């Protein structure tokens, strides 16, 4: 057990060290993702407490958050300099795609909100 605990500590330390080296813009995106996921979790908990009666509202709320998070993760993948796959993809292009996708997503959500 102590070995596992030591390992876990070491792991967390090295993780935080490695994460500290991440560029700031990626950190901002990470924060955004965490916030979106947290909002989704709050909504699910709320649904569990109150009930899912206007189901379309619940669905659009949760999917809006998850969708935002997923799209932000996609953006993060694309603008990450360490990703060799997206070397010739300009960050501006990635952001434009992200905005377009978000636009579609939230138009649908607005339609679905009821």
Partner 1 sequence: MAEPEPTTAAAAPAPGRLRNAFGGVLCAFTLLLIGVLAFSIRLFSVIKYESVIHEFDPYFNFRVTQFLSKNGIYEFWNWFDDRTWYPLGRVIGGTVYPGLTLTAGSIWWLVNALNIPLSVETVCVFTAPIFSANASWATYLLTKEAKGTGAGLMAAAILAMVPSYISRSVAGSYDNEAVAIFALVFTFYLYLKTLNTGSLFYATLNALSYFYMVCSWGGYTFIINLIPMHVLLCIVTGRYSSRLYIAYAPLVILGTLLAALVPVVGFNAVLTSEHFASFLVFIILHVVAFVYYIKGLLTPRLFKVAMTLVITVGLAVCFAVVAVLVALVASSPTKGWSGRSLSLLDPTYASKYIPIIASVSEHQPPTWPSYFMDINVLAFLVPAGIISCFLPLSDASSFMVLYLVTAVYFSGVMVRLMLVLAPAACILSGIALSSAFDVLTRSMKFQLSKVFNDGSAVSGDSIAEGSTASNDTKGSSTSTVNTNSAKIENRTEKSEKPSKKNRKKDREVTGSVPVKPKKEKRLSVLPLEASVVGTLLLIVLGGFYVVHCVWAAAEAYSAPSIVLTSRSREGLHVFDDFREAYAWLSHNTDVDDKVASWWDYGYQTTAMANRTVIVDNNTWNNTHIATVGTAMSSPEKAAWEIFDSLDVKYVLVVFGGLVGYPSDDINKFLWMVRIGGGEFPHIKEPDYLRDGQYRVDSQATPTMLNCLMYKLCYYRFVETDGKGFDRVRGYEIGKKHFKLTHFEEVFTTHHWMVRIYKLKPQKNRIRGKLKKLKSSSKTSSTLAAGRKKNPWQ
Which residues make up the interface to partner 1 (CB under 8 A)? 7-8, 10-11, 14-15, 18-19, 55-56, 59-60, 63, 66-67, 70-71, 73-75, 77-78, 82-83, 85-86, 89, 94, 96-98, 100-101, 104-105, 108-109, 111-112
Using alpha carbons, select from 104, 58, 59, 97 the residue that is nearest to residue 76. Answer: 97
CB of 50 to partner 1, least distance (A): 18
Q: Which is nearer to partner 1, 6 or 42 (CB)?
A: 6
CB of 103 to partner 1, least distance (A): 9
Tokens 């659009």 appear where? 60
Q: Residue 36 and residue 93: Cα distance in Å, rounded? A: 23
Burial (CB < 10 A; 0-12, 13-18, 19+), residue 60, is: buried
């Amino acid at each position: 057990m102590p070995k596992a605990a030591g390992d876990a500590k070491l792991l967390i330390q090295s993780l935080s060290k490695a994460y500290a080296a991440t560029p700031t813009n990626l950190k901002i995106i990470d924060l955004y993702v965490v916030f979106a996921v947290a909002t989704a979790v709050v909504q699910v908990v709320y649904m569990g407490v109150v009930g899912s009666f206007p189901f379309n509202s619940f669905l659009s709320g949760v999917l809006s958050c998850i969708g935002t998070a997923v799209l932000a993760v996609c953006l993060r993948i694309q603008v990450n300099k360490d990703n060799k796959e997206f070397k010739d993809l300009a960050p501006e292009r990635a952001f434009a795609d992200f905005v377009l996708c978000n636009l579609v997503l939230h138009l649908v959500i607005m339609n679905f909100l009821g």
